[in-house]
Structure 1
Amino acid sequence: MSTTASLEDRSAQLVLDAAHEAVRARRAAEVAEMRVVAHWCVMHGEPRSERDPMTSPGGDGTPAVREYALPELAMARETHTLTTRALAADTLDLQHRLPRVWAVVEAGDCEPWVARKVASLSRALPAATVGIVDRAVSAAIAGHAPATVLEIATAKVIEADPEAHAMRREAEKHRRYVALSRTDEFGLRTVIARIHAGDAVWIDAMVDRVADILAVEHGHDHNRDELRARAFGWLARPAELIKLLIDHHQGDDDTDTDTEEPEQPAWAPDHLPDTAKRLSRLSPRQLAAMRVKAQVFVHLSQDALTGQTGIARVEGIGPMLVASLADLLGHADVRITPVIDLHGKTAVDRYEHPALLKDQVWLLTGGDVFPFAPRTARRDGVDFDHTTPFDPAGPAGQTGPHNSGPLRRRHHRWKTHGGFRCRPAGPGRHLWQTPHGDTYLVDHHGTTRLTEPESRIHLTAPPGLDAYTPRFELRWGG
């Protein structure tokens, strides 16, 4: 009998009881998973050789773990290694640094994610003072809202080490950045900037000014927030922005600038007169060249171009309607590169990958080929690794799509030194085996853990023969 059917026969009170039991069961399952991760760390708490690096995911007072052991655990959990490392760090902190909080977590009386957040907040504290956080949080975490618990934790972290907090505050002043969020389903992204407060005020004022100008022509079609968002985009086009501001400039006086040199305002920078003269001497081509250059890879099929609702894939952004490409490329000079034949057997007789070969390998694989690696890496942020190590005395044509896969530097190091084996399994397909023998296939469907019979077929296939077991034949249209 299904859960839904069994609930239909229950009273309201019994349904509420079932909801409570489900929460307790979920918390217990999370605790069980944390215990498994902690035990794995204990099993791998000693290096196997002088070249076996150790790492300390948790804070002061927590045990170290073999770095090469974490990726294998992550594969078993079907997550990226950084996700598993974070769980290991939080669990070790709770067990060794926050034992009172851990006791509440084990009892199922609080949400494990709240305790993990507390562990993360207090990680920088030395083991001698973290007990202040442990005592205060353990008394509150079972009955208070998460926001209240985290507020208590933050206050106690400051109290435990005020000097370190002051130093972190000073360091934070230098941690500035501008970042982009992932593209949402509507083709929009969020710009996140951490900048000086004064710069933020001036940017906000400029966005407001441009929005006011755009409102004259578009205000009836767009609300204020949308106008400000459009205005923000104008900041990336300096020549157009200067013209827009000049066209809508309303001076404070009627001075004829052609016959009389106006007095420079006291607040203006000293270079302003010279900059104005240099700007007037620029040719249209030079003005256009002020625009920032960028390289965007757009993938289109013939059907996408001829259909009414074709979809394009833009690297780093995601899928979008072909009709929407004008919004992305409309203000740019576009250079079209030839289509790369992915079925070509390009290969070279040297260790280095030429640019064209890198493009071909990237298109075949779609990104980092390490199991469960997010496909967020850019092609300039990976190593193009020889799946079978390059042999200077070996046969010709070792460098090609048949023997290459993009890997982030960390993943490349794990493959080289961590006991992880990899072999080609067909165009854009890579077979991985962990130190304990688990096998994973990485292809354009993602990462799949193989059964023992499937592993045997792939591992015993002769070099150069691409094996496709039944469920993968369905994937590839076999």
Structure 2
Amino acid sequence: MTTDLRDLPAAVVLAAATDRVRARRLAEVDELEVLLQWAAMHGTDPLDGLEPRERDHARRIGKVLRQLGGEGTPGVQDFCLGEIAAALGRHVNSTRAAIADGLDLQHRMPATWAVCQAGDCDLWVARLVASRSRKLPVDRMWIVDQAVARMIATEAISRTLDVADAKIVEADPARAEEKAEQARERRFAAVGQSDEDELRMVVARVTAADAAGVDAVLARVAKILLVSHPDASLDERRSMAMGYFGRLGELFALLLRDAVDTDPEDLASALALPAEVLELLRDPAIAARIAPQSVLYVHLHEAGLLSGEGVARVEGLGPHTLSQLQMLLAGRTVVVTPVIDLSDRVRTTAYEHPESLKARVHLVTGGDYWPYAASVSRRVDYDHPTPYRPGAPPEDPPQTGNHNSGPLGRRHHRWKTHAGYRSRQCGHGRYVWATPHGLTFLVDHRGTRPLDPDHARQMFAAGDGIELYFPEEPLTLDLDLDLTG
């Protein structure tokens, strides 16, 4: 029976939302367990005990035991799938996929399956990881299972999947290389039909390295075109920049005019001769200035550098084996920036965040510090969790620094500023949040967790530099909590 939520306090509706999510998750697990029981009931080989002729006939008609899941999962009689699919009112293929994922979770990812059974995560996320890791040997699945089980209940879905993908590569780097090679064989580039406006879609499947290069050129040319097309949007200028790939002479001329400090008219006459263009391009200094500049952030444990094995996380491109990373950097001029010591204290009296501070805050937080935020982009606002006070006495401690800074997406920043949310930084990359109606959360390196309201109140009231830690306890919602003061 549906509860009538009309005219109830906001806190009660919020509590109902949490209850509904948990009930839905448990219902989905219960439904999958029904499928698993059906599979167990039909887990014997239908060929057992048959005479050779009968066995051959059974194989021909498909009355066999099939392994739907990955290595280490029991088989399921193929004939049993149609009936259970009909009982569910679903297509056989989706039913088969659900059983395969359930068997993988049950037999290959028991720690993650336990989190699902507790109702602490969305089942479809665990199923997606199970499907992606199906080709892994069963004795390597623990690498994926343990990592996913630790974060699937507390981290944003995209971050969980990013880690899962990295662990899949780590568990079987040889297969990751083979898979990458197979993907490269599926590369293509195509031009679609013209639409009613005589515009055409250009579609290509290229390597990550090539895609990064194309994107860098588009960004460079779009910036140059801003001078001659000030009213064009960024998307329009990037589209115009794409056209230059079909006019390489004009592309070189455009880049050279932007790169070479000389009179445009004198340069134009020189560029009329291809030989002159080539001569200019032979100059390493000019070639270096023409080449689009991009910054690549690679995260790699020092053990990987010493052993030559491991998984590197490339921001924006995902996990790469070391050999894939070498291919990504091949032919590039690589400038390694100094290692950033995250223990350094960076503070300033100014409101603006210096770039050195932004880099440190991003590396500590990994992205947006809003509860359950998914973004790991560096293109965010850098917020003061404790609001900046203009005109504060000069003797007060600096308000901007890695003690009071957190990345927020523009929408989240707007909500925090104008919608009644409160936050406070209470440690290195550690933040406490309170929503307008009293829900409280802790965001740190482990993700997001609901926080006891009384603990949150104490953390908000603690003095500067004081970090409070509490033993984890079940959340109890305080409907009378007032954190608006």
TM-score class, shorter-chain normalisation, is 0.3 to 0.5
The answer to which structure, 1 or 2, has the higher relative contact order (CA under 8 A, 6+ apart) is 2
TM-score (norm 1): 0.45
TM-score (norm 2): 0.45
